[in-house]
Structure 1
């Protein structure tokens, strides 16, 4: 039974990716292009050393967003507020990091903790509204994303927490001193952010917390059945609130790599869209830390490799179509797999019942 579940759990994402490739093949053929040549070009471009470095750095951010979304999914929470939580984490991490002067390791640790607190605190608003007022976390988080962006834009004023470097039109926070910066690792022709190791730690901690702790058991139990968990003595509303805060805290780390290893300051030029990406990766990776990593690398690879299509006169937005098809296909595939597993379980139970009845009749 376990082998069957693993088999179908592997087949589902593979089938979704192949379906997406087939759709892309059809679209390119209708344009009169040679799909195979373009696929080869994308693969060749995506695996160039300098592009692999960029993909790895982007994978780390996507991975953290995916883990943040997966924590929410385990509680059946749709944390679409990852974008706002990540921005609050990166912004306040940058502000505090620029304002203090500490030894190197301690300085970086304080920035990371501040980013997690800021992201978690912002998510706590949606958690409170969900538990105390019954407000859907989807609605509240969508609103909170816009509010976060507006608050940061206001605070980034040169008269408040922002600064305008000479010769630049991009308002940003004051730069973080060298003691608060994270080193990079030189690989190929680029620099890989050392926050990669932090992402590995987060993935391991997420798996251990979920599978080896009482909190993780209560989290999964509450996600499976709120009423059953509450009846068994679990503080289900409290679990929902804590899980929401934990998801927001991880989301607060999404921009740490860019902040501490690249820009060393926060500006409105920081990328957006991590909410939908994180949710998609959690679905594709089945909320498993290893699955989310491969999904994150696939996403970053497609985005980077898709840039070469523009040189061939093909809109790079076709990559977005491909990603969307993967998500849609994986949802359908997992539903089919769930039904197959259910039927197999029913057959197994029926077989056991038949054997038991046969033994009783024989006696």
Structure 2
């Protein structure tokens, strides 16, 4: 029991050491960058913290982090399988577009309308992601290349269909193009704790449920075990009877289905239509968030909150005379420091474990030599 407790303690310390080291390194590098630009780093950090913890900023961060969290989960499914799904951006836009089109065509009670839109979005996004999965197992095409190309194709398809006279309308006043507005029965609920701060989007509940489902499936099911096994070693998975090709396609489909949820907060809680101003690029933020969270649902949540916090404070930094781009530098530095810190800690832990094993073997050999000498004597 003492030995197991010691092992768990070591793992806990190493697990804490990695993010702490990453945060400290990121702060130091960011401070040096600010100093190099002739700016006061501690003042910048103070501005970010004071503005980021205002009530309206907290609501903004929660709403923004909801979307980033879903994108991070979608990417993390692929990462756990050793797949690099860069296509989350195209998948969620395709899903949200067709969800908006279908939702605008019908008027149903809320308990039917909202699930219909969500299911359509998830099915379309999953089907779009499945293309990359089938290309990988059927033709050996890298999922990186396939998903990058599918992102471009998704942009072209949406641009073609999002035209007046096809599946969209033109607003002559603003010159914007948009799909038919969703009926009020398709508007997702919001929660207001402070009227001055604005409403918290109800889709945060769906994001939490998605995180719980992600944890349960990967940690408590046979499918999750097979997925992690294939990610660690395809040959070992095949030797244990796992159908690797089937797992690859299934993982891409699940990743795409989760990606279908990414655009739902913007569609059901905010715009209630798909227009040429619909948010893009969230899929790529999901990659950074998944890396920050090390593919763990809690870690991804922290990464999403941090990214949303930096997004929120960037405007206020610019208002106070700092370059807005400095936040992009901070975000990149944080991701880089996290990757490096976790690798440093991993190698340290592995080396420490090897030294302990070597010491135990040496002790056992020494004891055996002493016993042999006593028997001989």
Q: 1:255 aligns with which of 263, 271, 286?
A: 263
Contact 2:39–2:322, Cα closer than 8 Å, also in 1: no
* 2:188 is the alignment partner of 1:176: no
Runs of 4+ with deviation above 4 angstroms: 358-361
In structure 2, the residue matched to 1:214 is: 222
Unaligned stretches of 5+ residues in structure 2? 1-6, 373-377
2:140 maps to what in 1? 134
1:95 maps to 2:101: yes
Corresponding pairs, count? 363
User: 2:134, 2:345 → 1: CA distance?
Assistant: 35
Corresponding residue for 1:205?
A: 213
Note the alpha carbon deviations across 1:199-243, whole angstroms, 9 max, x for none: 000000000000100000000011110111012110011101100
TM-score of the two chains, using structure 1 as the length reference: 0.96
Q: Is the 8 A contact 1:101 1:179 kept in 2?
A: yes
Asked whether the equivalents of residues 288 and 335 of structure 2 are also in contact (C-alpha less than 8 Å), the reply is yes
Taking the aligned partners of 1:65 and 1:281, their CA distance within structure 2 comes to: 8
What is residue 110 of structure 1 aligned with on the other side? 116
- Alignment partner, residue 36 of structure 1: 42
From 316, 322, 327, the counterpart of 2:330: 322
> 2: CA distance between counterparts of 1:346 and 1:205?
36
What does residue 241 of structure 1 align with?
A: 249
TM-score normalised by length of structure 2 = 0.93
**In the alignment, what sits opposite 1:145?**
151
Aligned to 1:313: 321
Instruction: Tell me which residue corresponds to 2:296.
Output: 288
2:323 is paired with a residue whose SS is coil
1:61 lines up with 2:67 in the alignment: yes
Pick closer, same or farther for the CA change 1:353–1:310 going to 2, 3 Å. Answer: same
State the alpha-carbon separation in 1 of the partners of residues 129 and 88 from structure 2: 8
Counterpart CA distance in 2 for 1:238 and 1:59 is 32
Cα distance in 1 between the residues matched to 2:262 and 2:53: 24
Once residues 337 and 284 of structure 2 are traced to their aligned partners in structure 1, the CA distance between those partners, rounded to angstroms, is: 16
**1:190 maps to which of 194, 198, 205:** 198
Aligned Cα root-mean-square deviation (Å): 1.5
Per the alignment, residue 271 of structure 1 pairs with: 279
Return the offset for 1:356.
Answer: 4.3
Are positions 1:340 and 2:348 aligned together?
yes
Whether the aligned pair in 2 keeps the contact of 1:79 and 1:275 (CA below 8 Å) is: no
**Contact map agreement 2:127 2:253 (CA 8 A) in 1:** yes
